[in-house]
Amino acid sequence: MLSTEVLYFIEVARCRGMGRAAEVLGLSQPALSKAIARLERDAGTALVTRLPRGIELTDAGRAFYEQACHAAAALEDGLQAARDIGGGHAGLLRLGMTPATSHFVLSALFPRLRQERPAAVLNIRTAFGDELFALLEQQRLSFAVGPVPPQIPDSLSFEVLYEEGFSMVFSQAHPLATKNELTAADLEGLEVAAPGPDEAARQVAEQTLRSMGLRASRVMVEANTLETLLFATATSQLVTLIPTDTPAHHLPEGLVTRPLPRSIIKRQIAIFYGRGYVSPIAERAIQLLREHRP
């Protein structure tokens, strides 16, 4: 098992502060500070810098944190492998998915996976691709499902599941709402609500505009949840993009969708893997996703 001091350090790094970490761990702050000091003595160097508000990892602290996360995840994988072998394959599934792929993933896995593995624990994380990739590299996810970005970390591998198109979304009061079909020219110079610059859908859209010689969109609202992007679009003259197969009942009232030709813009959806242990329940979940692909 990892030492208590290492586990405490991981929590301090995640919380970016002693006070919050002490609350999560159920410790007094002085006790936590002493544990971190013991770890720093063992390491022979400072791992954290105390700031007026919170802490900051030193270069040595960042290096140690990365390795400690790998070690913690590897230990959990080892324990889970032992449980799988000795306990009827109940298992733990740590799954990541992007907001745009959540309907596909949940439809593929529920209720069948729960029916087959009623004792299993499913830990599901919804986030945009850059955050999921970081969790995969830290071995904190079994696998993740999301769009394939222009660049993929070398430490990850992926398997394409299907290809999907995009629809443009805007309010009923937007000038584009009068058009039944959109063309590439309609994408030029729009004011948009969009995810962060590291998210695959935004990268695909920006790359499409550049390749066609069209003026880039102006990002007026940037958010890390699909719900926020859709709300901003429904209450303004902004537009955003969603996968064409997004169920209509997931959209706020007052929004209009128009599919874009796949000859203009499309992307691939894939399963992404890190380098950790793939449990039997993760293998079964992956099989169900393959069977459910459009």
- The domain that holds 50 is classified in CATH as 1.10.10.10
The enclosing domain of 277 has a CATH number of 3.40.190.290
- Distance in angstroms (rounded) separating the CA atoms of residues 212 and 208: 6
Q: Tens-digit pLDDT profile for the chain (294 aa)? A: 678 899 999 999 989 889 889 988 899 999 999 999 999 999 999 999 988 888 899 999 999 998 888 888 777 767 766 765 565 556 778 899 998 899 999 999 999 999 988 888 899 999 988 889 989 988 789 899 999 988 888 889 999 999 999 999 999 999 999 999 998 889 899 999 999 888 888 888 888 889 999 999 999 999 988 889 999 999 999 999 998 888 777 788 899 999 999 888 999 999 999 877 777 889 999 999 999 998
| pTM to 2 decimal places | 0.67
Q: What's the pLDDT at 159?
A: 96
Give yes or no: residues 27 and 110 share one domain.
Answer: no
pLDDT tens figures, 226-268:
889 999 999 999 999 998 888 777 788 899 999 999 888 999 9
Residues 48 and 126 in one domain: no
CB 285 within 8 A of CB 113: yes
Strand 191-194 and strand 55-57: the pairing is unpaired
Total number of domains constituting the chain? 2
Question: Can you give the residue range of the structural domain that contains 21?
Answer: 4-72
13 and 122 share a domain? no
Shared-domain flag, residues 112 and 155: yes
In a domain, 176, yes or no: yes
Amino acid making up residue 279: S
Q: Is residue 84 part of a domain?
A: no
Same domain for 22 and 148, yes or no, is: no
Give yes or no: residues 148 and 212 share one domain: yes
Alpha helices in 112-242 (DSSP H): 112-116, 129-137, 200-211, 226-234
Q: What is the pLDDT of residue 80?
A: 65
Domain shared by 26 and 117, yes or no: no
Position 84 scores a pLDDT of: 59
**Residue 244 domain-assigned (yes or no):** yes
142 and 185 together in one domain: yes
**52 and 194 assigned to the same domain:** no
Residues 99 and 42 occupy one common structural domain: no
Supply the pLDDT for residue 44.
Answer: 94
pLDDT for 1 equals 67
Answer yes or no: do 152 and 198 share one domain: yes
Residue 82 parent element (H or E): helix 59-86
* Residue 189 falls inside a structural domain: yes
The answer to whether residue 240 sits within a structural domain is: yes
